[in-house]
């Protein structure tokens, strides 16, 4: 019996270690299933966003980065969440209208989810799990936390909200990840 339990536990641990962001599907901001596997082979920046946050102006830098690098295999995925100070209270349609009219967002936007707490979406449960992602795991602290994902679907690094998308740290990490696409 102990051997069977050990085998089951070990198999579960191996399966968890093999998981990537490509194993998750969110809904697009328009309500359609959006499997993250659609981004296989690309460099992805996942960002939990909010419309009424002090960091909301980062949408401009996110859009600029997307425009600059999208032709090289880079995509940004905006994931609205209302977990911090009720700073994303709107419906998906209101969020979409806000992002396109105020910041001219063209990168993919997902439907609003929860990024922490009892109702955390499975993607963020995975991203913040220290056993799956020891270097970048840990609870989301605020809006505009950024996860850089490599072409293999694994987390490369995490940037906290105060690190702007156009900072040298983020830009060099994106460029380094994109350079790996050529090899």
Q: Which CATH superfamily is domain 21-182 in?
A: Glutaredoxin (3.40.30.10)
Weakly modelled stretches of the chain, pLDDT under 70: 1-17, 183
Contacts of 113 (CB under 8 A, 6+ apart): 26, 79, 80, 81, 121, 123, 124
Active site residue 10: no
Residue 159 vs residues 95, 118, 156, 170: alpha-carbon distances, Å? 23, 23, 10, 8
Which of 6, 10, 53, 99 is labelled catalytic? 53
- Distance (Å, whole) CA 46 – CA 42: 12
Q: Residue 15: its pLDDT value, please? A: 45
Tell me, what's the pLDDT at 181?
86
What Rg do the C-alpha atoms of the chain give, in angstroms?
Answer: 17
Q: What are phi and psi of 135, to 5 degrees?
A: -80, -30
């Amino acid at each position: 019996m102990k051997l069977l339990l050990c085998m089951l536990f070990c198999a579960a641990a191996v399966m968890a270690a093999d998981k990537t962001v490509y194993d998750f599907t969110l809904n697009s901001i328009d309500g359609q299933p959006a499997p993250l596997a659609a981004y296989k082979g690309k460099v992805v920046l996942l960002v939990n966003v909010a419309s009424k946050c002090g960091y909301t102006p980062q949408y401009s830098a996110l859009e600029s980065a997307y425009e600059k690098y999208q032709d090289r295999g880079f995509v940004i995925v905006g994931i609205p969440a209302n977990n911090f100070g009720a700073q994303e209270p709107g419906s998906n349609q209101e969020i979409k209208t806000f992002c396109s009219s105020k910041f001219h967002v063209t990168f993919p936007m997902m439907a609003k989810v929860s990024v922490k707490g009892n109702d955390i979406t499975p993607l963020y449960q995975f991203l913040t799990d220290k056993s799956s992602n020891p270097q970048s795991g840990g609870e989301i602290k605020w809006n505009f936390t950024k996860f850089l994902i490599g072409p293999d679907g694994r987390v490369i690094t995490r940037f906290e909200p105060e690190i702007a998308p156009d900072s040298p740290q983020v830009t060099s990490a994106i460029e380094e990840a994109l350079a790996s696409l050529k090899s």
